[in-house]
Chain A
């Protein structure tokens, strides 16, 4: 879920070379949105598509209509493939699967509150990790880029 402020910042950050398109469904307020763009940070024939629909307005076909706009935009740009992703939303996964998408990657997101970390344990873990690293380095032998003539 994105905040309105976060989305506005994201939209404003797209450079012209992203060739981004944005659409919203507005029923006395925005209830669904989509955007489609080129990944501007690398050369590729793939595009990226984002869709968000408020849970209270799902099941009315808004996401599907927005998807058609966004996918059409990417196709018009001559792109051959479209990527999208879902974070903890089974309905979002079903939405994509129903439109022919297949899962390609899984990314594990982890978190810790630094204020809750036990500093003594952190120090022990750091020392143990350092020993393990040194041990693995010594078992593989010294590395050298020099060659004997």
Chain B
């Protein structure tokens, strides 16, 4: 089972911290980039 959460989504990240007790661990980050054209 995979979840992805924006770092600004504090409630979901808090839930993820609880879920770590069950082995639900962060394993990679997706970094979004932008530039003007």
Known: A105-B6, A110-B3. A121 touches B30 (CB 8 A): no
Tally of chain B residues near chain A (CB < 8 A): 29
Determine if A6 is an interface residue (Cβ-Cβ < 8 Å): no
Cross-chain contact A111 with B33 (CB below 8 angstroms): no
Residue of B nearest to A84 (CB): B33
A9 to chain B, nearest CB (A): 18
Within 8 Å by CB of B24, from A71, A88, A111, lies A111
**Secondary structure of the B side of the interface?**
strand
Determine if A117 is an interface residue (Cβ-Cβ < 8 Å): yes
Cross-chain contact B37 with A74 (CB below 8 angstroms): yes
Cross-chain contact A107 with B37 (CB below 8 angstroms): no
Determine if A116 is an interface residue (Cβ-Cβ < 8 Å): yes
Cross-chain contact B22 with A88 (CB below 8 angstroms): no
Interface range for A: 35 or more
Determine if A104 is an interface residue (Cβ-Cβ < 8 Å): yes
Q: Which of the 9-residue segments A16-24, A27-35, A95-103 touches chain B?
A: A95-103
CA A88 to CA B30, docked complex, whole Å: 7
Cross-chain contact B34 with A82 (CB below 8 angstroms): yes
Known: A46-B34, A74-B37. A110 touches B29 (CB 8 A): no
Which B residues lie at the A interface, using CB under 8 A?
Answer: 1-8, 13, 16, 18-19, 21-37
